[in-house]
Amino acid sequence: MIAVRNVSKTYGRLGRRTLALDGVSLEVQKGETLGLIGPNGAGKTTLLSCLLGFLRPDSGSIEIDGKPPDDLSVRARTGYMPERLGFDRDLTGRAFLAHHWRLSGGDRRRTEEEIRAAADRVGLEPVALTRRLRTYSRGMLQRIGVAQAMLGDPQWLFLDEPASGTDPLGVALVRERILEAKSRGTTIVLNSHQLPEVERVCDRVVFIDRGRWIREETLRGESATARRALLRTDPARTHDAAEALRQAGLPPISEAAGTLAFAVSRDEDVAKAIAALVAAGIPVFEARASADLEQLFRQGA
């Protein structure tokens, strides 16, 4: 478990100090995926830096499995991907991955095998591994960054904007890798502005603004809150569908050209809405429930 207790952090010199974190507390359970959300300058990266031991909190404490974040036994099981891959650009992709495999304490005899597997996982062709990093596109750098973070199947994964600058295929690939790590029981902390991606992979999100913990929302399971469902029906029957939803106790938030949105508190509410429409003889073309993080983001900010 990752435990952050009342962590504060200030930057700058006397007289010009900036409070980057102001008494933030949170916990990430084993196997959980937590999303950090907030506007630019909110303190998310500072929090991530504290979680990785790059910054030391002025007050409060951070423990990962009961140990400080810079404990070597913790680091041996940690994967980290920065937003910008500022590594030796003269290295080839292969040398970069091999270097990180060895640094992570991996078995040297398995280096080649691990590199191939890591590159495969993020869709990097073997020929790309022979090229120097400085010739890589932004998307390729993100991919190899994800590959190095996941070398050796770490127990804790800290990802900072992992899909930033990648094409839609790259975004999907990064998502798949995160979900794959999640299915293995990896505890993940994700800092991202891509709200739809956060929604797809995170179990919980924490809103941070001006260095403060503002609120948190559970996106999965029974305690999931503040979700919204979208129903698509025959545009000619929009009004009838809205009426049917009202009668089912699920009044629409918006209705336009066959698309109706309404608030749901449980997964059963979506089933209830579909049943109400079908019972009224109104076709349902599509039903989708989402956490509507954008709305939550606006409320949080």
Partner 1 sequence: MSEMVRRFLRQKSGSVGTLIALGLLALFAALPLNANQGFGPAATLAVLLIAAGSVSRDISSGAIQMILSRPLTRSEYLFGRYFGTLLTYVGFLISSVVIAFLLGRLFLSTSPLAEAPAFSWLAAGRGAVEAIFAGALLAAIVLFFSTFLRGWGDVLALVLATILLGSTQALGRQLNKPALVQAGRIASENLYPTPDWSQILAGRDILSVPTSQYFLALTCYLALATLVFDRREFSYGQD
Distance, CA of 162 to CA of 265 (rounded, Å): 30
Min separation Cβ 142 and partner 1, Å: 14
Task: List the beta bridge partners of residue 254.
Answer: 261
Residues 6+ apart with CB under 8 A from 137: none
**Minimum CB distance to partner 1 smaller for 77 or for 177:** 77
- How many CA atoms does the CB half-sphere of 86 hold within 13 Å? 3
Q: Which residues contribute to the site for partner 1 (CB under 8 A)?
A: 11, 20, 38, 40-46, 49, 52-56, 70, 72-73, 75-76, 78-80, 82-88, 90-91, 95, 99-100, 102-105, 148, 158, 160
Count the Cβ atoms, other than its own, within 10 Å of residue 20. 24
| Complex with partner 1: residue 44 or 143, whichever CB lies closer | 44
One-character DSSP codes across 201-258: H-SEEEEEETTEEEEEEE-SSTT--SEEEEEEE-GGGHHHHHHHHHHTT--EEEEETT
Residue 210 CB, nearest distance to partner 1 (Å)?
A: 10
**Minimum CB distance to partner 1, residue 150 (Å):** 13
CB 221, min distance to partner 1, A: 29
66 burial (CB, 10 Å; 0-12 / 13-18 / 19+) is: exposed
- Nearer to partner 1 among residue 85 and residue 201 (C-beta): 85
- C-beta of 2 vs 277, nearer to partner 1: 2
Q: Which is nearer to partner 1, 42 or 291 (CB)?
A: 42
- H/E stretch holding 118: helix 111-121
- Closest distance of CB 101 from partner 1, Å: 10
What is the rounded CA–CA span in Å between residue 219 and residue 172? 19
CB of 269 to partner 1, least distance (A): 36
How many angstroms separate the Cα of 296 from the Cα of each of 152, 161, 221, 301?
A: 35, 19, 18, 8
For partner 1, which is the closer residue by CB, 11 or 285? 11
